[in-house]
Amino acid sequence: MGNFKEDIVKTKAFIFDVDGVMTNGGITPIEGGTDFLRTYNAKDGYAIAYAIRRGYKVCVISGGHGNLLQSRLTRLGVTKMYLNCMDKISAMKEFFEEYDVDPATTIYMGDDIPDLECMEQVGIPVCPADACSEVVEASRYISEFNGGAGAVRDVVEQVLRSQDEWAKDRRGVLGIASR
Amino acid sequence: MGNFKEDIVKTKAFIFDVDGVMTNGGITPIEGGTDFLRTYNAKDGYAIAYAIRRGYKVCVISGGHGNLLQSRLTRLGVTKMYLNCMDKISAMKEFFEEYDVDPATTIYMGDDIPDLECMEQVGIPVCPADACSEVVEASRYISEFNGGAGAVRDVVEQVLRSQDEWAKDRRGVLGIASR
Amino acid sequence: MGNFKEDIVKTKAFIFDVDGVMTNGGITPIEGGTDFLRTYNAKDGYAIAYAIRRGYKVCVISGGHGNLLQSRLTRLGVTKMYLNCMDKISAMKEFFEEYDVDPATTIYMGDDIPDLECMEQVGIPVCPADACSEVVEASRYISEFNGGAGAVRDVVEQVLRSQDEWAKDRRGVLGIASR
Amino acid sequence: MGNFKEDIVKTKAFIFDVDGVMTNGGITPIEGGTDFLRTYNAKDGYAIAYAIRRGYKVCVISGGHGNLLQSRLTRLGVTKMYLNCMDKISAMKEFFEEYDVDPATTIYMGDDIPDLECMEQVGIPVCPADACSEVVEASRYISEFNGGAGAVRDVVEQVLRSQDEWAKDRRGVLGIASR
């Protein structure tokens, strides 16, 4: 295990949990009983969609579920998503094989106990500032930003900067905050 | 009354208020006029569902009401719930009898005046950092976290750690953020 | 004009603005186009409903509008409400006459320019910590809490404490967080 | 390029991005899949509607989209809006021509990469405290307030004060928080 700043130079893939990572962990039940409102961060969304446009692979693995979550990720262009997922480690392995991704250079950002097993099996486990203590201990990089408040943006930006890929194309990114 | 850290070693049951404890106290009326949106915390939800899986009893007593609240608690697997409750003390006593729970080792987390009577009758009254002053005074432990921002998680985690029951099973917990 | 702590001993009526006072100022348009979601604070709601139960008069004067706002205030038992109100000063005077309220001992909590005229005509103008600068200057008391985060609770609690009326009845208050 | 405080004395037009400027960047997908909930700030809304009443021109250019966004801006009386906009620079130029606005004295408030090109072509680029680093560097004024938490209010208020136009008319402004 080398230096974080040096290792992200080779990163080509990101894996994100949803609740507490892409959101602040807030979940708001709504009528119908099978879905939640979640509030995402526009700057995170820009970074994810931009990274995908530049050829990076982005996978989401979440115990969360619902049409609203799925359509959000689809619109961002997320490469692969596993929702309603109780076996995160198998999902992650399938992603690695299917997309020919090297675990050693992959970033996984989680925030809670169910993320730990995956975090132990990638080269670059990271977390938001407000992750649970076990996840903080398992992480090689702890963002100064909380989940839903820029933690995702922070790591995507750092990786792309290290490869001179950030802000090369300043157009807007479809799908962040529109249909 | 002994030391907080020592007393929680025997805790087998938790009682939680909802507004200001499981949420930040924010309530958002929606169309129809009989229900509110409330925003829960995914890390709190994980802790509650996990504790129930390990055999702890979790009771919710709230003046709050509505299908959205009820279905949220049902999905977490909450052992017993009293909603729309104006007589919290009777509800609590029924819970103690029905589930053979010892008040002396039970944790009650409240945040406002209507919780005081119950808090005086359990062994381990606790509260979020932003509880009202009377509740803070009545509490044996004041979490450093606000309601809806990890106060529930904090006490569940402390109790289970003290009994070497925390993070023994790192799988996800169904019902936290899915159907 | 005397001392704030002494003057509130005679206060029997409260007037509140809504946006930025009973909420943090956040307004969320929803489908249909004529209403907003607003997030209220459960501890504020408890204080308002409790004060009304103890015989205090509570009036709401707001430029805001909509069924959701109206039903929220109705459920709290608000004595008199003026919504969609562009002439706050006339509304306030009508309230004073209709309910035989003395302006000199009345508290008015506002947060923005349209509240200034009313604030100049009551004895005890107050505001949340995050009111606009003109309102802060016009206030005799600036709560340490922001709008929607306890500013309403703070002033109600202070007034009732000064009259030995606070927490005399510790039951829940119907209508705060239920139908 | 002169002094910020001096240059805003001539400002007659404002251009705002939406997500992260008029909101905190939070976007909440809702049923139907083509729209988001966004939470606006009542004090920002007051300032925008008031400025328009005093004759200032306010243009919104956003990659965001949806009926809820459009109706919000319409109700505030926004002079011109470009939504679902991937070519912000062309939109801005059209606005300058159509409304005979001088770019040299115009304020543009953005928060993220897609705003940079426009910010480089107005005389007074500004941003919220939590704008991305490239935008902060490109700005002549960085508000102490975050997006959605008063950044818009801050710049509108400063400009109008510098021209002795602020708080000249203390009535409420229709359309901020009502139909």
Residue B174: the pLDDT is: 66
pLDDT bin (cut points 50, 70, 90) of residue A54 is: very high
Topology classification of domain C7-162: Rossmann fold (3.40.50)
Put simply, the answer to whether C117 touches D174 (Cβ < 8 Å) is no
Contact criterion met (CB below 8 Å) for A52 and A44: no
Q: Do chains D and C touch (3 or more CB pairs under 8 A)?
A: yes
Chain C contact for B84 (CB, 8 A cutoff): yes
Pick A27's closest partner by Cβ from B30, B39, B153.
B39
Residue B138: the pLDDT is: 98
Beta bridge partners of B141: B126
Contact criterion met (CB below 8 Å) for C151 and C128: yes
Chains that touch A (3 or more CB pairs under 8 A): B, D
Helix, strand or coil, per DSSP, at residue B89: helix
Radius of gyration of chain A (CA): 15
Q: What is the pLDDT of residues C108-158, one digit of tens each?
A: 999 999 999 999 999 999 999 999 999 999 999 999 999 999 999 999 999
Chain C contact for B178 (CB, 8 A cutoff): no
Helices and strands (H and E) in chain A: how many: 7, 9
The answer to whether residue B33 scores a pLDDT higher than 80 is no
For residue D154, what is the nearest residue in chain C, using CA coordinates?
A: C132
For residue B179, what is the nearest residue in chain A, using CA coordinates?
A: A34
Angle, helix B67-76 to helix B42-53, in steps of 10 degrees: 50
Put simply, the answer to whether C64 touches D177 (Cβ < 8 Å) is yes
The answer to whether residue B175 scores a pLDDT higher than 80 is no
Q: What is the pLDDT of residues B134-166, one digit of tens each?
A: 999 999 999 999 999 999 999 999 999 999 999
Measure B100 CA to nearest chain A CA, in Å: 31
Residues in contact with B156: Cβ distance below 8 Å, sequence separation at least 6, in sequence order? B14, B44, B47, B48, B50, B51
Chain center to CA of B134:
18
Q: How many residues in total does chain C contain?
A: 179
User: Which pLDDT tens digits describe chain D residue by residue (179 residues)?
Assistant: 578 999 999 999 999 999 999 999 999 998 876 689 999 999 999 999 999 999 999 999 999 888 899 999 999 999 999 999 999 999 999 999 999 999 999 999 999 999 999 999 999 999 999 999 999 999 999 999 999 999 999 999 999 999 999 999 888 876 554 43
Pick D167's closest partner by Cβ from C29, C111, C134.
C134
Q: What percent of chain B has pLDDT over 70?
A: 94
Pick B63's closest partner by Cβ from C40, C67, C178.
C178
Q: What percent of chain B has pLDDT over 90?
A: 85
Pick C177's closest partner by Cβ from B27, B116, B130.
B27
Chain D residues in contact with C20 (beta carbon < 8 A): 42-43
Q: What is the pLDDT of residues C49-106, one digit of tens each?
A: 999 999 999 999 999 888 899 999 999 999 999 999 999 999 999 999 999 999 999 9
Chain C contact for D168 (CB, 8 A cutoff): no
DSSP annotation string for C67-115:
HHHHHHHHHHT-SEEE-S-S-HHHHHHHHHHHTT--GGG-EEE--SGGG
Q: What is the pLDDT of residues A19-30, one digit of tens each?
A: 999 999 999 998
* Residue that wins the pLDDT comparison between B100 and C175: B100
Measure D5 CA to nearest chain C CA, in Å: 19
Chain C contact for D158 (CB, 8 A cutoff): no
- Enter the tokens of residue C48: 């308002």
Residue D121: the pLDDT is: 97
Measure A39 CA to nearest chain D CA, in Å: 4
Report the phi/psi class of residue A174: left, alpha or beta, with left for phi > 0 and alpha for psi in -120 to 50.
Answer: beta
Contact criterion met (CB below 8 Å) for B1 and B45: no
CA distance linking residue A14 with residue A118, whole number of Å: 12
Q: Which is it for strands A57-61 and A13-16: parallel, antiparallel or unpaired?
A: parallel
Listed residue (D165, D161, D15) closest to D102, CA to CA = D15
Pick D34's closest partner by Cβ from A41, A148, A179.
A179
Listed residue (B134, B137, B139, B79) closest to B107, CA to CA = B139
Put simply, the answer to whether B28 touches C40 (Cβ < 8 Å) is yes
Chain B contact for A26 (CB, 8 A cutoff): yes
The answer to whether residue A151 scores a pLDDT higher than 50 is yes
Lowest mean pLDDT among A89-93, B68-72, B156-160, D13-17: B68-72
What are the distances in angstroms from CA B106 to CA B58, B59, B93, D37? Answer: 10, 10, 12, 40
- Please give the biggest Cα pair distance in chain C: 49
Chain C residues in contact with D174 (beta carbon < 8 A): 63, 86
Q: Which of D38, D41, D46 to mutate to test the interface with C (most CBs of C within 10 A)?
A: D46
Put simply, the answer to whether B177 touches A65 (Cβ < 8 Å) is yes
Residues in contact with B115: Cβ distance below 8 Å, sequence separation at least 6, in sequence order? B17, B88, B108, B135
Measure D135 CA to nearest chain A CA, in Å: 11
Chain B contact for A146 (CB, 8 A cutoff): no
Chain A contact for D28 (CB, 8 A cutoff): yes
Q: Which is it for strands D107-109 and D36-37: parallel, antiparallel or unpaired?
A: unpaired
Listed residue (D148, D126, D135) closest to D21, CA to CA = D148
Measure A13 CA to nearest chain D CA, in Å: 22
Contact criterion met (CB below 8 Å) for C111 and C17: yes
The answer to whether residue B10 scores a pLDDT higher than 50 is yes
CA distance linking residue A140 with residue A127, whole number of Å: 8
Put simply, the answer to whether C40 touches B33 (Cβ < 8 Å) is no
* Residue that wins the pLDDT comparison between B106 and B172: B106
- Enter the tokens of residue B148: 């809806």
Put simply, the answer to whether D66 touches A167 (Cβ < 8 Å) is no
Residue A35: the pLDDT is: 82
Residue D35: the pLDDT is: 82
Q: What CATH homologous superfamily does D4-162 map to?
A: HAD superfamily/HAD-like (3.40.50.1000)
Put simply, the answer to whether C117 touches D170 (Cβ < 8 Å) is yes
What are the distances in angstroms from CA A61 to CA A87, A89, A119, B136, D123? Answer: 9, 9, 12, 39, 45
For residue D31, what is the nearest residue in chain C, using CA coordinates?
A: C31
State the average pLDDT over residues A90-119: 98
Beta bridge partners of C109: C16, C126
Pick C43's closest partner by Cβ from B25, B31, B37.
B25
Q: What is the pLDDT of residues C25-40, one digit of tens each?
A: 999 998 876 689 999 9
Residue C51: the pLDDT is: 97
Put simply, the answer to whether A171 touches D86 (Cβ < 8 Å) is yes
Q: How many residues in total does chain D contain?
A: 179
Helix, strand or coil, per DSSP, at residue D78: coil
- Enter the tokens of residue C138: 């016009």
Q: Which is it for strands D107-109 and D124-127: parallel, antiparallel or unpaired?
A: parallel
Contact criterion met (CB below 8 Å) for B53 and B173: yes
Pick D117's closest partner by Cβ from A35, A42, A170.
A170
Listed residue (B85, B105, B87, B109) closest to B96, CA to CA = B105
Q: What sections of chain D are H helices per DSSP?
A: 4-7, 42-53, 67-76, 88-98, 116-119, 133-138, 151-162
Put simply, the answer to whether A37 touches D25 (Cβ < 8 Å) is no
What phi and psi, each to the nearest 5 degrees, are found at residue C18?
-100, -70
Residue A178: the pLDDT is: 42
Q: Strands across the sheet with D107-109, in order?
A: D80-82, D57-61, D13-16, D107-109, D124-127, D141-142
Helices and strands (H and E) in chain C: how many: 7, 9
